Structure 1
Amino acid sequence: MDAQTLLQEAMHESTTPELLLQLATSLDENVRRTAQRHPNLNKAHWQVLVCAEGDRALLTAQDLDWLARQGPFGVQVAAAHPKTADATLRWLVLAGHTQLVVKHQLHRTERWLLAQAAQDPGLMTFLQAHSSVPWPLRLRARALKHGFGNAPLLSPAPQPGGPSEETMALRAILRQRQETPELSDAQLELLSQSRSLQRLAARHPLLPVPLLEWLDQAEPYGQARETLLMRLEQHDLEPEEFARLARVGDWTIRAALARNVHLPAFLLPFLTQDADWWVRASAAENPNATPEQLAILAGEQEQAVIRENAAGHPHTPAETLLRLAEDGEAAVRLQTARNPSTPPTALALLAGDERYAAREAVAAHPLTPPEVLAALSVDVNERVRLVAQLRVAETTHEGLEAALATRRRNVKLAVASRPEVPAALLQQLARDRHPRVRAQAGLHRSLPDFERDTLLDDRDLSVQRAARAADPDARPAVLAALPRHDARIRQGLSRNPATPAPVLDQLSDDPLEDVRLAVVLNPAAPEGALQRRLPEQPLRPSIRQHPLYTQVQPSLHRLELEEARNLATPEETLDALLDSDAPKVRYHVALHPNASAAAQLRLTQDEHEHVRSGLTQREHLAEDIQQALAADMSVEVRTGLLGRPDISPEAMLRMVGPSASDEALLVAMTKHQAVTAEVLSALAPHPSVDVRARVARHERTPAAVQLHLASDPQESVAQEVLRNPSCGPEALAVLARQPRLRLHVARHARTSPQTLEALAFDRQYAQLLRLERALKKAPPRLQRHALVERWVTWMKVQASGRALKDGNVLAAVIRHPAASRSALQFASRLNNPVIEAAKADRKAMLRAAPSPDLEAPHE
């Protein structure tokens, strides 16, 4: 069977209590905590171990003696604890832990250990020879063995008459502020005897913490205290040193530790729950504070400073920031507005804050929604307007330089948040004194690589992390290890092509739309990240531009089709679906009853004919949409529009123009029940005979158009005018000029008397009638003259012969009720059975219905 790991042994149910005790005091925290939870562990031992893990002040000397004889963790706790008994410490030294004891026992130093050895020969022998004892301590122990026990262990006091060489050398060391001073025992003794050297050492920023503590005790609340607090707040210390100071330090020391970025993770939770409110407020400033800790601190009601610090921390959760945006303290709201992780919903609330400083911070925030920026760009306060306009308005290089000349932080943030910034200005912002400005510049896509490399070593941790997140040359493992509580880090990672696919996959579910959008724009985003973002319509245009789009395209089309077919889909969603690259989706949007007028108008310009045809199938179609479709170049679209019963005359008129060559469509238009006289008039000049014929026959065709078509060169068109139920006398008069239509006109009920006269008229016969009237006035002799009678007879024969070919027309004129006396006279010039029959018919009509309009045919 394979050997088990320590962690597996700590979890195994058959592990013995003795082995569990060793595992519960190992250096591996996971192994240690797992073993401490094991049911086989002795309960009394468990209580001691819990105190060692948490509140070590509760440990007694007996507990520490027991811990010293356990694993390495117990040894460390006992070696550093101030309550550890002298006998226990001596045992630890003899067990090989001399360096631990000397390093962590501030008051039981090497001098104390040598004093103990002077009374214990075995301990003295150990200190003189064992390899675990530091070499200087071994030398001093040997010096004591040779009879120098009463001599000073360190260098002698300086001689009068001026500083000694040792003093001058120590001064030189203490003036070298860039390196950690390593002082010998002699130098430490010399330091303890000189107030001037102590004042010089108190200003050294890298002096060891125990020595600074000693100097602070010698001169409390002097320069040493200031240097100590700075050291505890900024520098990295040993975990044991952090733990000791967090346990025994006063509130100022604990507050300084609480702000230290190097503070071990296991100590921060204790400081966030410290009894002193200032320590808790300082813990809210720690760059490594977790969202859970900040959420608890933000709930402090008595001290607004704690809420203020939590409101400004980039790791504070979005829901907590939303609550703080409505806090009663103006300072808390201002810090919330400045927080780079504040979500857009909270920023929208803060945009209405009564304090202009909060509104100005919102205007400079990179996550402020466009509609909020638009409102702030017309704010009553000039500073707010300037910052907001820098975000939304087009500005020249000179304009940006003039704005940055104000040296206001919000102006710099607004410029750094713009998509396009001149390289010179961006480099200037990357070197700004404020870390928020530098971090925002570090996220910019256009920042030169050498400037970003500089920010990677920035003195502020948040700037380092933001620049690292946006660094395309960073190793994937480094990017994956970055904490993602800060929105700026998530923004940088989401845009970085070097970000590992699993990280991008997680960021695709980020609560910030800006981060999710950047993920789908990132060419390194995995397919799964795109797949989960398909339901978000604002991200779909970016998804369609992604290199992996073809892999998710079928899924997106199915989702869009479901939305387009759903009758409950709102207008805004339908507007967004117009950007779909699936014509079937846009077709269903065209059919959807909730589609807005703007969407319908946009669909009239769709590249696919089938989509535009979908509009013609809607239940209601506005006039402007009809007008647009009427001008469509597709016959299918115009045919669909013409098939609507509610098509407007204006749309028909517009359809006449682009479809002038589409004869079938125009013929169908003449048959439409809604066609008007105006539309028919527009169709009348069409070159198609069939179209003109349809117009000529339509009852709504105006009389003037009928009159024009009656003289059409195509006889079939003129015939259709004759068939028009509304054909009037004027059109009939024109039609009467066409030989083939004379009979039809003569028989038409609306033919006027004048037209009937024109149909029956014969010029030579008219001359004969005038001659006969003249002969009646002539002498009888002349009337009965043979030549005159022969000539009259010849003229009648000629007139009758000419009338023979129009016999049917003349007969129709005689039978027409509107025929005048003159028309009857001309029509009766033919001696023919057809004429005689017509006369007889007219007489019969007179007898059946006598009327002044009817006259007997002229004999």
Structure 2
Amino acid sequence: MNHVLCGLAGNAALPFELVDRLIAVADADIAEGLARRADLSHEQAVALAARVEESAVRLAYEGLLTAADIDPVTQPQAALALLDECAGELDWARLFAADPDAERREKLAACPGLPPDVRETLAADPDVRVVAELALWATADVAARLARHPHAEVRRAVAANEATPPDVLAMLITGKGLPPAERCLVCDDEETPFVHDPQCPRLDCELRSGASCDGSHESTVHETAEQALGNPATPVEALLRFAGHSSTVLRCRLAARPDLPPEAGARLVADSVPGVRAELAGNPAIGEALIRVLAVDRGHDVQRRLAHNPRVPLDVLSRLAAAVKIGPTLLPRIAAASPAEVKELSASSNPAVRMLLAERRDLPAEIRDVLAADPDAKVAKSVAPHPGLSEAQLRSMVERHGARVAAKVAANPDVPPALLEDLTRHVPPVKKALREVARHRDATGPALLACLADRRARPIAAGHPALPPQAVVELLADDDWRVVEAAAANPSLPSAVMAELVPEPSGAGA
């Protein structure tokens, strides 16, 4: 891989004529960067697709290629991409529906807006994976019909399709009104009873982990229930039976349903598995009574998940903040706090609560300033990236808390360039701060040069447009390929150097 040319392919300042030259010599890696260019013309996209077939798919999805630019016979993947975007020719769909390559038929089955005759052809496809893919994306009428398909894999896909009618989803859960499935992927190829070895040594084996069949297609039936439980179109009344199911996975899926009724929640809150109770704790559908029960639940991850529930009362959240390591994150309930609640939280005696509030970036100036002067480093660290803080406030934080807040101060969008330079000279060096400085929009040349000393900050700084051009050129010879690509992609790289780096296509000037 030529990392210099790969970087140049994504350089926003690469002159138009050099883009043409790069297309003429592109391989798959270079083409990937070229296909992402925002300034790529239609003519260049056509040339790139002709040069590197793999790039045609991305270009089609980006809208840079039209049906007139693609030959479905020689560029089938690009043609399928256009069909997926509803931008291909419908005759292509008929062509691919009869394609001997099952992977192409499967890709076609996922495309929207297929003609009825094509859908019928795919619904009768001899490869069940093609039919299952159709079932996954089908319209309500087609999904309802495929729910009666004799293969369990197709029914599993129907259960995941949100367009499937609710009554059909209920039938897939209960089995009532549907004939039993006759086959599954396991018994298609194996003598039953069969349990798939998790450490299966067969390189050509495509069975999913945990696949098994004793004649009842049990693993696929279980997966069908799992898909239906995760499908918002499934009527919750049909799912309540899973509150006492032996499968922890199914009980977890039920506990996470946003339409979970109170009686089901009351049963799941007493579940013996902490994971089920943790799913319940994070569910916005549960009421205050269950929240307060879960607030004292010491099961693994229950209290942490409850802290992320947008309906948790603030008094409960305050106790959770003292009991659980939540970390510096903006919790939904904190984000939704009213002005009166914000004022109350800012005066909390618990620094963990003040830290959670400090994660908000829309605090009133008076609250923000109080938190910026907080004596607790955790609070200052959380509020440090808040916009609107003055240079004096940011410097005061660094003086009081040192390395503990340096990286967050460097991440502040309003931090002055002079302070960024000072942070790079902090003793001892703060590596996280160097990385933040390296990506800061206002970083200066001297600050970025200092960042080059850190292994992880180096590739970030190498791509910063404020890095002195001579330094950018020197980094093209760096030992780290990430640094090389970043430097080559740096818009500050002199255009004369770019011209020297892009080779002339063979035969040019002859």
TM-score, scaled relative to structure 2: 0.39
Q: Which has the larger radius of gyration?
A: 1
From the two aligned structures, give the one with the greater helix fraction: 1
Higher relative contact order (CA 8 A, sep 6+): 2
